[in-house]
Each structure stands twice: as C-alpha cells, then as structure tokens.
Structure 1
Amino acid sequence: MSMAMMSDAPKARATGKPLLAVRGVETFYGSIRALKGVDLDVNQGEIVTVIGANGAGKSTLMMTIFGNPRARSGTITYDGKDITKLPSHQIARMAIAQSPEGRRIFGRMTVYENLQMGASINKFATFNEDLERMFAIFPRLKERAQQRGGTLSGGEQQMLAIARALMSRPRLLMLDEPSLGLAPLIVKMIFQVIKEQNEKEGLTVFLVEQNAYHALKLAHRGYVMVNGEITMSGTGKELLAKPEIQSAYLEGGH
C-alpha cells in the first residue's frame, strides 16, 4: 500500500451527474428531529464529505441513506431511482457499500470469512480476483487472513471493514468516521487508499468525518452539518480556507 502523502488538490473525475441526491430529508428518533431538511449531491466520480462535530447528525444521515432509520420526509435518489422507502438489503444490492462507524466487523469470523461476507452481495461472482485485489491494497490483511477479526488492532479492523465493503464492487462507497480512534499514521494510510480507489478505479465516495482537515483535503466537495442541518458547502479547498471552518474544526487538527 502506498505511503505517499496525499496531494492538496485531488484529481476530479466527476461527471456532474448526481449519483446520489438527497432532497429535504428529515429523520426522527421518536419526537426528536435529527435531520432537518438535508439537501446534498454526490456526483459520479467524486469524493464528497460531510464534516461536523460529534452529534451533528452525520451518522444519522449515512444510516438514513442506507434505509435505517427511514426518512420521514424528503427523497433519496440513487442512480435516478428513488430509494427512500427501500429496505437496507435491497439498497446494498444496488452497488452501494457501507463501512459503518465503529467498523462492525464480524469479530468471531476470520479475516477471510469477513471478506467472503462482503462478496456475498454479488454472489461471489469475482471472489478470487477481488480477494487478491484487497490483499494487494491491504497486505496486512493477507498476513492475518486466518485470524479472527476481533483480535485485530483497530487499524487492521478498519482496513478489514473497508475491504469487506469493496469486495462487493460498489459504485458508491459510504464511509462513516473511518479515522475514528486510529493513530495518525494509520489515518494517512486509510485516506490514501480512499484517494487511490477514487483516482484509479473511478470509485465514488461519500464520507462523514470529524477529522475535518483530512476529510476536506481529500474531498472534491464538502458540506458542513450543524445540529442536523447543512450550514455550508463548497469545494474541499474552499472550506479549508474559510476562517470559520478553521476556528471551529481545524484548531490543532493538522
């Protein structure tokens, strides 16, 4: 896996056609309105990030897109199809893969078995080829192939969670806090992999992150979420340069 530092200006592959469109989405937990009319687009070939403090609603947005919890109002469109009311298992079969917050790998299964679970979405059609590709991207997983997921380090578990998602050959990869709890060197490795998959494979990536510096440096475009609302948007470079973003999210974050 390349350890090269990420460039400040990622190469845009975006076509301008929204692959994922969120319009006026509201999500509730009981009587609490967690998302308050969220609008955003993720275009084909882009890396798009949503940044915000803990509790801003970022993970709720990610889970709502994937069907659990359901949006109470608004629409979520993927590749021109309304997926707002679809169950999560049907969404997963539409070439959307999610690496959830906290990794959520199968701790009692081996690394190999976890990767099998990811490949089951497309019925193991290209399993051997994809397995070798994941082992090339994450050599550590090849070394740990027969080790139980629950015995891996936090960084190795995050590698496994991303590799498991990639085993289904998604068009859209959704990542929820991939840097959470990881050492800085591992964070750089994870974000480099995301960048390479976007540039080399044309993978569209939707990322929610507390680590605003790394997320905005990586992303073509970003949104800022505060208390369940999108308050600001722009290119990653534009948002990094804004004084209000620097003071709220980047102090000491470099």
Structure 2
Amino acid sequence: MMQVSVPVPAPSYDPQPLLSIRGVKASYGHIAALKGINLDIFEGEIVSLIGANGAGKSTLMMTICGSPQANAGEILYCGRNIEKLPTHEISRLAIAQSPEGRRIFPRMTVYENLQMGTVVVDQQYFEEDVERVCTIFPRLKERLHQRGGTLSGGEQQMLAIARALISRPKLLLLDEPSLGLAPLVVKQIFNTIRDLNRRDGMTVFLVEQNAYHALKLAHRGYVMVNGLITMSGTGQELLENEQVRAAYLEGGAH
C-alpha cells in the first residue's frame, strides 16, 4: 500500500466558513444532478469529496464556479452569495479550479498556458509567479517553451494545477487530480497539495475517486451518493468507517 507522507495537521477554524453551501440543487435539463447539498469549507483546511463515478461530485464543483448555476439553495463565499454570478465574476473572487481532464491548451506552450491563469488577475506579478510554480513543479521549468499537448499526463496535471495557482487563489478547487496517472506521479501530486496547504495555508476542496488518498490527506471529508451528501466527518473517521471502507476502499482502492 502506497502511503502519502504524514497527515496534515488540523487547522484552526474561524466561526464562519470560507465557503458554505446550503440546499444547493442543480440539473441538466430535466435530470437532477444535485438534490440539496449542504457542505462547509473553512479557511486553511483540505476538504475531500468522495463518491462513485456519476455521483455528482464534478457537477458540484462546476456549480460552485457558476456553470451550471444552482437552481435552488445558496452558495456563500466569504459571506457573499455567489450562486447567481457568472463564472468570470466568480473567478475574480480568488477562486481557482483545476478541472477534471486538465483542459490545458495543447497547442500553446507551457508558458502560454500559465499566462491564461492571469486572465482574472493583474499580470504585474506574472514572472514572479511563474518562478513560484516552477519551484513547486520543477518539471515545468524544463518544459516552459514546449507545447502542452506534448507533455505526459502527469506533466499536464502539474500544468493544470500551476495555471490555477497563477491566479493567486484563496480557494483552490481540484477535480480528480489523480485520474489516469501512474502511482508515483499520484504520490507527487498529493504531496504537493499537502505542501501547498501546510506551507502556504492554501484552502483546498478536492474531488476524488481515489478515496484512500483523498481522505488520508483531508482534514474533513464528505461522501456523495446520487446527488446527495450521505456522510461526513474527519478524514480519519471516514477512513475507519465500515461503510466507506466497503464501498470505496476495499478491493485494492488504496
């Protein structure tokens, strides 16, 4: 069994969540994808959302970013309602997403992809931020002038996360960062997430099918089934829960 370094120390929570989701529903046409989600993320913590494929995890993350928009409920960020804001306005509130499937620009160079992360922020610190993300992901420094489409899957994932970090987010949304990657690269990605949280105080909302790694890393976690949150607790509590183990951890999931 592959371990992901040491557990992340628990942060101290402010009374008000950084992100609070209350009764959120969202749909695609007549198909209900989210059926009344309640979830909190406090500043300085890592929160993991696990569940089977098709449970609605990615839809929740996209709904936070305004596409699709919630058709019921509230999404409060820093105490402000954002559920009806367009995506480009939400991205200006220091919320950045590394989406499922990476979605880099394959014909652009690594450097040009990183420039796309500055669309919502002042470019004054871009060169400084490029140095910063290349310190986090040294492989990208070697590939700065290489087209994104020629990178390996792991390198593309590093680029997707780095592009999100370029915008200097207060809340980092990561959707399936381990998907399709080799075990050693998965370990590197999860260690990087841990370091961003411990060293920089980055608040992270992590959507993952790899339940073991996600819960091992998380301060707290939620379980989603068919568009509903069915369970929550600390990462360790969920790792030890018999139902979670049977559904998501048995049979070599870790």
SS for the counterpart of 1:12 is coil
1:42-121 alignment runs, 5 A limit: 42-121=41-120
Structure-1 residue corresponding to 2:253: 253
Cα distance between partner residues in 2 of 1:189 and 1:180? 13
Residue number in structure 2 paired with 1:200: 199
Please give the per-residue CA displacement for 1:99-126, whole angstroms capped at 9, x wherever unaligned: 0000000111000001111123212121
After TM superposition, the structure 1 = structure 2 runs for residues 91-170 of structure 1, keeping only pairs within 5 Å, are 91-170=90-169
Number of aligned residue pairs: give it: 250
Distance 1:64 1:5, change over 3 A: closer
SS of 1:120's equivalent in the other structure is coil
Q: Which residue number in structure 1 is paired with residue 208 of structure 2?
A: 209
1:229 is matched with which residue? 228
> Structure 1 runs of 4+ off > 4 angstroms?
none
Task: Give SS of 2:100's match.
Answer: coil
- Give the structure 1 partner of residue 31 of structure 2: 32
Match of 2:22 in 1: 23
Alpha-carbon shift at residue 247 of structure 1 (Å): 0.9
Q: Give the secondary structure class of the aligned counterpart of 2:66.
A: coil
* Aligned mates of 1:140, 1:176 — CA distance in 2: 21
Distance 2:11 2:132 in 1: 22
Q: CA deviation at 1:5?
A: 4.3
Relative distance call for 1:5 and 1:71 in structure 2 (3 A) is closer
**1:81–1:147 CA distance, 2 compared to 1 (3 A):** same
Unaligned runs of 5+ in 2: none
3-state DSSP of counterpart to 1:207: strand
SS at match of 2:97: strand
Instruction: Give the Cα separation in 2 of the matches to 1:54 and 1:45.
Output: 28
Matched-pair contact (CA < 8 Å) for 1:13–1:199? no
Tell me, which stretches of 5 or more residues in structure 1 are unaligned?
none
1:194-243, CA deviations, whole angstroms, 9 ceiling, x for partnerless residues?
10000110100001100000000000000000000000000000000011
Instruction: Return the alpha-carbon distance in structure 1 between the equivalents of residues 127 and 27 of structure 2.
Output: 42
Opposite residue 208 of structure 1, the aligned amino acid is V
1:11 counterpart residue number? 9
* CA distance, structure 2, for counterparts of residue 165 and residue 189 of structure 1: 17
State the 1:14 CA deviation: 3.8
Aligned residue type for 1:246: R
TM-score normalised to structure 1 length: 0.96
Scaled by the length of structure 2, the TM-score of the pair is 0.96
CA distance in 2, matches of 1:227, 1:174: 21
> CA contact under 8 A between 1:48 and 1:206: conserved in structure 2?
yes
What is the rounded CA distance, in whole Å, between the counterparts of 1:129 and 1:220 in structure 2?
30
Q: Is the 8 A contact 2:97 2:174 kept in 1?
A: yes
Give the deviation of 1:129 after TM superposition.
1.3
Tell me how large the CA RMSD over aligned residues is. 1.0
